[in-house]
Structure 1
């Protein structure tokens, strides 16, 4: 008899958007140091409360489905993760892309992940409130399931009818020491203050004998993305979406200051598999941000950073649309 599947259910916390009562204005003297009162209209409050309700209902539904299956499962809030995930057959994340990204930092190439978008955007709702507030909910590019199809997708996985995609990740070494976190979406190398100039240089190396010219930069930083991350910040900055099957990286120098004409073509480009980017940092302080702002590493003047595609892949179950087209829909 085959062993029961072991599943880790990773949950986005409810306090991300807790329900709040309307704030009442209060009088305060000009010299008061207290913050001004926050006043939210009832329609906005109702929308925020509904987001929390939908997310909570999705969590409860996923738990009910797992309870009916012949599997062993355990729910864990995503903020409780502190060690590599081991001894499970599948990780199910309930939230959005951010929850799956957080899980990816604790996963190697042996354990697949399934993302459940717990609060998907409703097109009619966005249109209805477009002139009042932003009613966009969770995007969920990397999530193959919602509450509507979760049980169907889970059954396909458990029965072996659905195969995970293999997504590339970014490996970063700082002063010849590997950072422990692999980026599934992107990394940003920049000054911790967004208004400050980032000073650095880089070159791309294919091997010891073949490398690009050294590019000296003063800019807002340097971003590199995987194929999965090419539809996130990279696309917003003017980059190009890449097929999910691509194992290369896309890079972009953010807002370069007076780039030399000879180097302008190197401000935005691609790293092929096997190529390395060598970066030298010349500010007194800086940060390497991995998949957003939650994971970051401090850097200082003279530090050497090496970036490549040599990280272990991540197995993720994607929707049929993303798997078929190779590029997530916008």
Structure 2
């Protein structure tokens, strides 16, 4: 019984007529995509129901496929409620139009949804869906991040990345970390004063990690990539500010600030930490089955 999530955002209060028209067009394109995809599903001999992303709060069970209609953010939100048994198909409801970017690029950001993880758009949705139903298109298994604080596992797995930092972006983050394999250390203890610690999967390596100077990874890699953000005077430990965490390794960090937050796949899901907390991060989470675009 397929199921899908729907996501959209509307901005108001901007005086520029071109921007308002652009945003209104985005809203219309998204809603047209919803109606179009629902009409396709109604033609198929399958059971399905539509669920707005704001109403997604419980684990997703008892379905054969999740279809997210929106962009990568909608797929990410659904992934937090999914285990490693149900595949997800992302449909980019509002992809960027190159001609718009060229026409309006000097006035405002005319890019639409990136949809990096979305295997379908409205125009090929039925073709992709049929390929899935007929077993011709199969999902890939993407690595996720599992975290624990003081040996207690957090309930949310990260598909893209996590950021551990002080809740105020202008404040210093203090922590130490080392990489372990089992109980054996694989790196020296690294003491950090910085703006935080980011850890990404291969999926997330082309997002904030790459923007901060990291490198893109093959999307099926099981490694994690970590980076200390804006380290202050790293000295002898500078070689350990950025690197990889192998599938059999764990990065263990001790937080030494009074306040701290673990942000998972952006800012919407977060957990507070305090001085003395020990955070363990690894790729030992259940994978996520994703129908990927052919270019990935």
Q: Which deviations, in whole Å up to 9, do the C-alpha atoms of 1:104-132 show, x marking residues without a partner?
A: 00000000000000110111111111110
Aligned 8 A contact 2:97 2:111 in 1:
yes
Q: Which residue does 1:319 correspond to in 2?
A: 293
Q: Which residue does 1:302 correspond to in 2?
A: 276
Q: Any stretches of 5+ residues in structure 2 without a counterpart?
A: none
Please say if 1:17 is aligned against 2:10.
yes
Offset of residue 211 of structure 1: 2.7
Distance 1:210 1:41, change over 3 A: closer
Offset of residue 39 of structure 1: 4.7
Choose the corresponding residue for 2:107, options 120, 132, 152: 132
Offset of residue 207 of structure 1: 2.8
Choose the corresponding residue for 2:65, options 84, 90, 94: 90
Please state whether the residue corresponding to 1:59 is helix, strand or coil: helix
Please say if 1:216 is aligned against 2:191.
yes
Offset of residue 81 of structure 1: 1.1
* Residue correspondence of structure 1 range 52-63 to structure 2 within 5 A: 52-63=27-38
Please state whether the residue corresponding to 2:2 is helix, strand or coil: strand
How many Å separate the matches in 1 of 2:279 and 2:184? 19
Please say if 1:143 is aligned against 2:118.
yes
* Residue correspondence of structure 1 range 146-161 to structure 2 within 5 A: 146-161=121-136
- Between 1:208-217 and 1:285-294, the stretch displaced more is 208-217
Q: Which residue does 1:3 correspond to in 2?
A: none
Choose the corresponding residue for 1:273, options 247, 250, 265: 247
* Divergent runs of 4+, >4 A: none
Offset of residue 209 of structure 1: 3.0
Distance 1:274 1:39, change over 3 A: closer
TM-score by length of 1: 0.88
Q: Which residue does 1:288 correspond to in 2?
A: 262
Please say if 1:7 is aligned against 2:2.
yes
How many Å separate the matches in 2 of 1:238 and 1:316? 27
How many Å separate the matches in 1 of 2:85 and 2:31? 30
What RMSD, in angstroms, separates the aligned Cα atoms of the two structures? 0.9
- Between 1:207-216 and 1:66-75, the stretch displaced more is 207-216
